[in-house]
Structure 1
Amino acid sequence: MTTPRRHASVPHADRHDAFPEVPCGTAVLLLAGSSGRVESQRADLLARHGARVRAIRWFGGMGQRPAPHEVPIELFIDQLDLLRRDADRVAIFGTSFGAEAALVTASLHPVDATVAVAPSSVVWAGLTDGDWSSHWTSRGTPLPAVSFDPSWVSSTVPPEYRSLYEASIDRAPDAAAAAAIRTEYITGVVVLIAGGDDRVWPSGQFAAEISARRSAHGRETTVVTHPAAGHRMVLPGETVAAGGVTMERGGSPSADAELGALAWPQIVHALDLRA
């Protein structure tokens, strides 16, 4: 078990702060996925529309966990609390593993809006030095997580991991139920964005599960999908992201941009941006 720690400070090398010329009153904590990048391009885009944005590296940085493995949720909570000092509203915006982090954080700590791109409905396991454990800890305790199917072997080059995630849930439905993110506890606005051709994991299915879970508890959710888009979304004004872990992500630059165009009005509304 890890020891509870506070993580209010993120070194300048591991963050990018973007400030609007005309503030809209919303501050956004921006999280990338398994690439480990600092989402500076997206932060600057949101700032041009009025948001004060802090994009952070949340693993692999100075003083951070080396991989998505037992990352303290307090890291994100502390950053949100800092942002709230200077904003009327705070939001958390994440992609892939960052979307998982955003949803878990918002289920444990009040935020005004959550935007999750290529989300997961459950917490997943991560690996460091041969040790499997949850992606996240809360107050030093690893959250329940779904472990991977050890018999899975990729049949493609580069690998498509969607079938791994599907098989891992199918083989352990009780573990998946225990690891479900308690999204019904999220009180603010929730926007989920998913591509139908996502080959990393079944984000469209996950988005539908999150929406159904919240609906069963009287919570509204906005879901934006595009059948031909993949794991990444390209917003209007963004260029296609490069780098990250080598894998097949699905979609195409045009379809991913179409998903971004569909999602943009919902993001503007959720974050109260200046269109």
Structure 2
Amino acid sequence: MITTELTDPIGVRVTPDRPGGTAVLVLAGSSGRVETGRAELLARSGAIAESIRWFGGPGQQPGPWEVPLELFQARVSELRTLADRVVIMGTSFGAEAALITAAHTPEVDAVIAFAPTDVVWAGIRPDGGQTSHWTLAGAALPYLPFVEDWRPDTDPPAYRELYRTSWERAAPERRAAATIPVERIPQILLVAGGDDRVWPSADHGHRIAERRRTAGLDTMIISAPDAGHRTVLPGEPVATGGQTMARGGTPESDAALGEQAWPKITALLGLDGAVFHVT
């Protein structure tokens, strides 16, 4: 494998000795990390894999709010010159970025979303104000705001009920405007833990699948009731860092969900000769 350090934006690209024709853009969540380990895992299986820092780097937003989708679209265009297919793989906020980018970028062939969301959520500015996570052509995309009266009742805090309550209380028209148009994406694979305590990713995943089903599209959801927010793929180091919060699951259940998901991931990426299909 050949590892190339990227500088604009900061990141890494790992190229296998024999690329299999698919390139993957890997996006972390609120940790902001460059997912080097996951990129290396994918490259060992035959994909060109790139992971970038999408906030907190030079010239970028200091946090995950009003991040331009053009940042991701530029990486997709670059990867398209290197491979026949481009897939975006994201976790949590990175899954949100993957889905909303793919919905606005015809060059994206598929999305693999770990702990997904079906709507765009608010980002919190340093002054405490709420704004969209994303912009497109300089304009903030519609988003769901957080309710103001919620307080955590655990230490570390579990934010699942904040997201659930904010979704339930949102005006229908605002919820509709913030909904990610996932029916524009050719293929989607979702991985969600039923014990996700960050946000109700399994609920979000089922809403994505239902929206696509209405549009005549299939969606694969891989889930486990005892897994949490962070799925661990086979041979992948356990992620650490990010904001202090309850994420649910256990190291064993999170790794078991990764074992369950991995064959479907490699099939979607075309890395093992298998044909990806929804069962």
**Structures share fold, TM-score greater than 0.5:** yes
What's 1:7 paired with? none
Query: Could you give the per-residue CA deviations for residues 230-272 of structure 1, whole angstroms, max 9, x where no partner exists?
Result: 0000001112111111000000000000100111011001111
Query: Alignment partner of 1:233: what SS?
Result: coil
The alignment yields a C-alpha RMSD, in angstroms, of: 1.2
Displaced runs of 4 or more, over 4 A: none
Higher relative contact order (CA 8 A, sep 6+): 1
Out of 124, 131, 134, the position equivalent to 2:132 is 134
Listed as ranges, the matches of 1:28-177 within 5 Å are 28-110=24-106, 111-130=108-127, 131-174=129-172, 175-177=174-176
Query: Alignment partner of 2:13: what SS?
Result: strand
Q: Distance in 1 between matches of 2:271 and 2:55?
A: 28
Query: Could you give the per-residue CA deviations for residues 19-64 of structure 1, whole angstroms, max 9, x where no partner exists?
Result: 1112111011110000000000000000000000110010001111
Gaps of 5+ in 1: 1-9
Q: TM-score, normalised by structure 1?
A: 0.94
Gaps of 5+ in 2: 1-5, 274-279
Out of 223, 246, 249, the position equivalent to 1:248 is 246
Query: Alignment partner of 1:249: what SS?
Result: coil
What's 2:277 paired with? none
Task: Give the letter for the 1:32 counterpart.
Answer: A
What's 2:3 paired with? none
Task: Give the letter for the 2:126 counterpart.
Answer: D
Query: Alignment partner of 2:58: what SS?
Result: coil
Q: Distance in 1 between matches of 2:271 and 2:198?
A: 30
Instruction: Tell me how far 1:12 sits from its aligned partner.
Output: 5.9
Task: Give the letter for the 1:49 counterpart.
Answer: S
What's 1:206 paired with? 204
Which shows bigger deviation, 11-20 or 36-45?
11-20
Query: Alignment partner of 1:232: what SS?
Result: coil
Q: Distance in 2 between matches of 1:186 and 1:13?
A: 25
